[in-house]
Structure 1
Amino acid sequence: MNSSLFLVVLITGMFLVCAGLGLALLLSPRSFNAQKGEAYECGVPTKGTSWMQFRVGYYLYSILYLMFDVEAVFLFPWATVVRELGVPGLISVIFFLFILGLGLAYAWRKGVLKWE
């Protein structure tokens, strides 16, 4: 019984995805302009090739930003129900912040936060 239900859900999902993509292809406006295919940033045409290497520091900064951005996303719901959670909720969020603090300390010790 479960396998037939799974099959129905899978087929329905595949149909809905294909129907949505097909409908978008049929109804979307088409413009064949060569300028649409060019690379640009902020409306300014690029100079040189866009296939250049960036320093790893940019990627490390972005990963750290995402880490602390996700932390904020997890802390907002916790802050709304902190009184209902009681002491176990407080201990769990302190543990969560401790783990994030360890990650920040590790990055700091490795020199990731130095911009050279």
Structure 2
Amino acid sequence: MNTEVVAATPLLPLIIYFVAIVFTTAFMLGGAYFLGQKHHAKAADEPFESGIVATGDVHIRFSVRFYLLAIFFVIFDMESVFLFAWSVALKESGWLGFIEALIFITVLIATLIYLAAIGALDWRTSRQRVVTPHKLR
């Protein structure tokens, strides 16, 4: 058996995949170029506007709660990545891995309960939190 053919065999799927990706990308970009609209408005060349004339100031002040929610999302998203990796290696980890994942999920749930208890997930302002008597009925 030829050793050059044996050494090149594992690369064949990778080469086919790379060619398919390049072809798909070229097809999508070419299709968008030929089938897309051909207008040249003044605002079309401005970044992030897509042809819509910009109004107002871009420096809008956001509440810090937006950033807290984004941080919570990133944290819980990364934890789901860890759980996905655990689920892939479920057979290899055995019961010990299952117990470790159960502890991990318990900590996640406890953290979520704590965040809800301290009001970190509550978006209402202090004025909105006040319950008026007519709303109790």
1:17 alignment partner in structure 2? none
Which of these residues, 105, 112, 115, is aligned with residue 120 of structure 2? 112
CA distance in 2, matches of 1:99, 1:106: 10
Match of 1:81 among 62, 65, 89: 89
For the residues of structure 1 that align with 2:49 and 2:119, how far apart are their CA atoms? 30
Q: Which aligned pairs between 1:1-116 and structure 2 lie closer than 5 A?
A: 40=48, 44-116=52-124
Q: Would you say how many aligned residue pairs link Structure 1 and Structure 2?
A: 83
Between the aligned partners of 1:54 and 1:47, the Cα distance in structure 2 is 18
**TM-score normalised by the chain length of structure 1:** 0.57
Distance 2:90 2:65 in 1: 37
Q: Aligned with 1:77: secondary structure? A: helix
Structure having greater relative contact order (Cα 8 Å, sep ≥ 6):
1
SS at match of 1:87: helix
- Deviation digits for residues 1-53 of structure 1 (CA, Å, limit 9, x no counterpart): xxxxxxxxxxxxxxxxxxxxxxxxxxxxxxxxxx7995545654442222221
| CA-CA distance at 1:74 after TM superposition | 0.9
**Structure 2: which 5+ residue stretches go unaligned?**
1-42, 125-137
> Percent same amino acid at aligned positions?
34
TM-score by length of 2: 0.50
Q: Which residue of 2 aligns with 1:21?
A: none
Amino acid in structure 2 at the alignment position of 1:49: D
Structure 1: stretches of 5+ with no match in the other structure: 1-34
Larger gyration radius, structure 1 or structure 2:
2
